[in-house]
Amino acid sequence: TQVYVISFVCFLCPGMFNALNSLPTAGPSAQEVKDKQNAALYLCFAIMGLLAGGLNNILGPRILAAIGGTGYAIYAAAQYNIFKAQGGNDSAPIPDSANTFSIFSGAYIGLCAGMLWAAQGQICLTYPTESQKGTFFATFWVIFNLGAVLGNTISTALSWGAGSSGVAMNDAMYLIFIVLMAGGSIVAFLIQPPGTIIREDQTQVETPPTNVLREFVEVLKLFTNPAMLTILIPCMSSNWFYTYQFGPFGDNFSGRSNGLKAIFYWLAQAAGAWVLGNMFLDNTKYSRTTRAWTGCYIMIGTTIAFFGGGAAFQYASDSNGWFKKGNHIDAGDNFGQFFGPFILYICYGLYDAFFQVYTNYLIGAISNDSETLSRYAGFYK
């Protein structure tokens, strides 16, 4: 039940954020502001992510998720403020006040995201039994990504009639995002204290007393933990490929086509998470070692195949000048041109689901201790 609650919080907050962030901005000046906004976001996310595991052990996941959810509505409001400041003119300058608010919102959502994902990590990694590690995280990932599916479906439906040159967002769409994101913080109050949770095997989640000094020391110790050092490269690569997929790759498409491909990207995320997490990683017909190594081979194979295909697409589009500025792929005008990159983008979504489920499965396999997994989850984010 608690996994469903945190899943729905993330459905409304980062799920809707992913939908909003995977859509192109209206013009180059807005994109420049969005880049600064996201730079502030990930800087603060990195700092808070590291500290939030300890903070979660002190304050509990309910408080962290409720506070963490507030940043998403502020972020959407800042995006809407830029949209209104330009008055529908892509080339219009953006006032300094709107620029400043946008960067502030990026920093604030970064702090909030660190808190929310630490709470999520503790719940999804601590509450399952040994045979449910993949299933619990996969369940979360499916529900969470359906938020992005819903957000992109609404925005695509509203923007499709505007044609290939139309923008993907309007006043109504921004307001829908803001209201739904604000609802995530309210849902977070349904989260129960970890110490009240009894797992399916009748063991109780233990939450020993802690304090700020102890948590700070334990967080520093993570940098000497061999298991955590092993996942440093996955830590870095995850949000690296997001930046490419939602940025330069998405620039090849018209506004409405971006929304259309994003719907299936997030659907692929949901399907991929369930297939790997529930149907394979928790399949007790095979030993845990066999499942772990096979999962590693799947990651190697899909990395080479999907990103190799992506490299070929990028090279061909650059060298042939297919998608010069203003010459965007549009599903309505030329579906044949859209189909190949569309399938590639679905593969990217499938890959991200495999990546996140597998990495979190490994982290969850290291320990069952609530405090420890809270710190591990924060360290990964």
Quick: pLDDT tens for 96-122.
Answer: 777 889 899 999 999 999 999 999 999
| pLDDT score, position 192 | 94
- Give me the residue label for tokens 């502001």: 33
Nearest-5° Cα angle at 363, 71 to 206? 80
Question: Taking Cα atoms as reference points, which of 76, 84, 62, 148 lies closest to residue 108?
Answer: 76
Question: Taking Cα atoms as reference points, which of 64, 190, 63, 185 lies closest to residue 117?
Answer: 64
State the angle between helix axes of 2-12 and 61-86 in degrees (0 to 180), rounded to the nearest 10: 20
For all residues of the chain together, what is the average pLDDT? 86
| pLDDT score, position 8 | 95
Structure-model confidence comparison of residues 31 and 340, the more confident one: 340
Range of the domain at 139: 1-380
How far does CA 5 lie from the centroid of its chain? 17
Residue 69 · residue 13 · CB < 8 Å: yes
Q: What is the CATH number of the domain that holds 107?
A: 1.20.1250.20
- What b/e sequence results for 94-107 when a residue is b if at least 16 CB atoms lie within 10 Å of its CB, and e otherwise? beeebbebbbebbb
How many domains does the chain contain in total?
A: 1
| pLDDT score, position 239 | 76
**How many helices (H) and strands (E) are present in the chain, helices listed first?**
14, 0
Which DSSP letter does residue 26 get?
S
| pLDDT score, position 27 | 58
- The predicted model gives 280-303 an average pLDDT of 91
Residue 312 to residue 210: CA distance in whole angstroms: 52
* Residues belonging to the chain: 381
Give bridge partners of residue 355 from the DSSP assignment. Answer: none
Helix (H, G, I), strand (E, B) or coil at 253: strand
| pLDDT score, position 167 | 58
- Residues 6 or more apart whose CB falls under 8 angstroms from that of 97 comprise none
Residue 56 · residue 122 · CB < 8 Å: yes
| pLDDT score, position 23 | 65
The phi and psi torsions of 92 (rounded to 5 degrees) equal -70, 140
Residue 379 to residue 381: CA distance in whole angstroms: 6
Residue 337 to residue 329: CA distance in whole angstroms: 7
